[in-house]
Amino acid sequence: MNAQEISYARDGYAIVPLYDRTTIMAARADIVEQIDRVSRALYLPFEASCPDAPLEERIDRVFARDRSHADLLRRVVCTDAQRGPRLSAIAADPRLIETAQRIGGRALAGSIVRVRASIASFPGHRHAWHSDVVRDDGTACGRVWITAWIPLSDAGPGRGGLEVLPGRRPAPMAQATDRGFEIPEAAIAGLPHIQPECPAGTVLFLDRFTPHRTLPSVAARFALVVWMMAA
119 has pLDDT over 80? yes
Domain count, the chain: 1
Q: How remote is the C-alpha of 97 from its chain's centroid?
A: 16
- In which band, very low, low, confident or very high, does the pLDDT at 180 lie, cut at 50, 70 and 90? confident
The pLDDT value given to residue 147:
98
56 has pLDDT over 80? yes
Is residue 194 a contact partner of residue 164, using CB atoms and an 8 Å limit?
yes
The pLDDT value given to residue 76:
97
The pLDDT value given to residue 218:
86
- In which band, very low, low, confident or very high, does the pLDDT at 140 lie, cut at 50, 70 and 90? confident
Is residue 136 a contact partner of residue 181, using CB atoms and an 8 Å limit?
no
70 has pLDDT over 90? yes
More confident residue, 139 or 225: 225
Is residue 165 a contact partner of residue 130, using CB atoms and an 8 Å limit?
no
Q: What mean pLDDT comes out for the span 71-93?
A: 98
Q: Which residues form the domain of 96? A: 3-230
The CATH number linked to 45 is 2.60.120.620
178 has pLDDT over 80? no
Strands 13-17 and 202-207: antiparallel
For residue 212, what are the β-bridge partners? 130, 164
- Burial class (CB within 10 angstroms; exposed 0-12, middle 13-18, buried 19+) of 128: exposed
Longest dimension (CA), the chain: 57
SS3 content of the chain, % helix, strand, coil (to 5): 40, 25, 35
Q: 83-105: per-residue pLDDT in tens? A: 999 999 999 999 999 999 999 99
| Residues contacting residue 140 through CB under 8 Å, at least 6 positions apart | none
Q: What mean pLDDT comes out for the span 165-185?
A: 86
